[in-house]
Amino acid sequence: MTIGEASTDDVMSGFRLDGRVALVTGAGQNIGRALARGLAQAGADVLLNDINGELAKRTAQELAAATGRRVVPVQGDVSAQSDVDRIASVAGQEFDRFDILVNNAYTTGYAPPRRTYPADPLKTTDEHWTVAFEVNLLGPYRMIRAFGDRLREHGVGSVINILSGSGFQPNPGMMPYGATKSGLWLMTRYLSKECPDIRFNALVPGVVRDNTVDVAARAQTEANVVPLIPMGRVGDPRELAGACVYLASDAASYTTGALLFCNGGRPW
């Protein structure tokens, strides 16, 4: 089946991903893990990437056991061209096709050893900007470039770039992160127009529960953010999986250059 040939008689079959292969970056935990699980549950085999190789391995084992799909871990930092090349090499060795790329890996741009941006945004360093740019904007492009020919091969290629509300509305103290996420949205639009043989869309999560943040920090975040969310709660990473499956599947065969918010109705 190629783009534009999804069945109009059986709507639900259009959401299935049987026989397809997906790559999810930053998929060791939280949102990336939930997206990889959702794609596998819909029938796709998955190449699961994370900068933390041991975490990628454990998560891949868990998802394979839970879904019955082939889930292959690969360590790699998308900000390094050498790692992107190695990820592409592993993909070629492990799978004979690639249909779906989810660019989820990100950084807020905090440059070690600093853990926050300067209070004065005019004191933001080149290092902060470089870290954010390399991971959030150039990294996704490198991945798209590395897999572009394979995404075109079967006529059903789908790229889903994971954005942030910070790319649409200033979030105090997050300028490099927000600016690079905004750039990723515009890049999505450019590619959807200039590469019509691949579908390029963007998914914008809201604030979700994050098991890497301590309980006190989570409670403070929720106290600050929940009043801004019409649904009155933060999300669960699993609540993003359905949107990702939709954008990856033939159910969205006529959808490209689109932006899908999954944030509980929070305005940006």
The catalytic site residues sit at 177
Output the six-digit token pair for 46.
Answer: 């998955």
What are the Cα distances from residue 51, in Å, to 55, 57, 106, 158, 234? 8, 11, 10, 23, 26
Q: Are 201 and 103 in contact (CB under 8 A)?
A: no
Question: For residue 247, what is the enclosing H or E element?
Answer: helix 241-248
**Strand, helix or coil for residue 258:** coil
Cβ pair 266, 204 in contact under 8 A: no
DSSP strand pairing (71-75 vs 100-103): unpaired
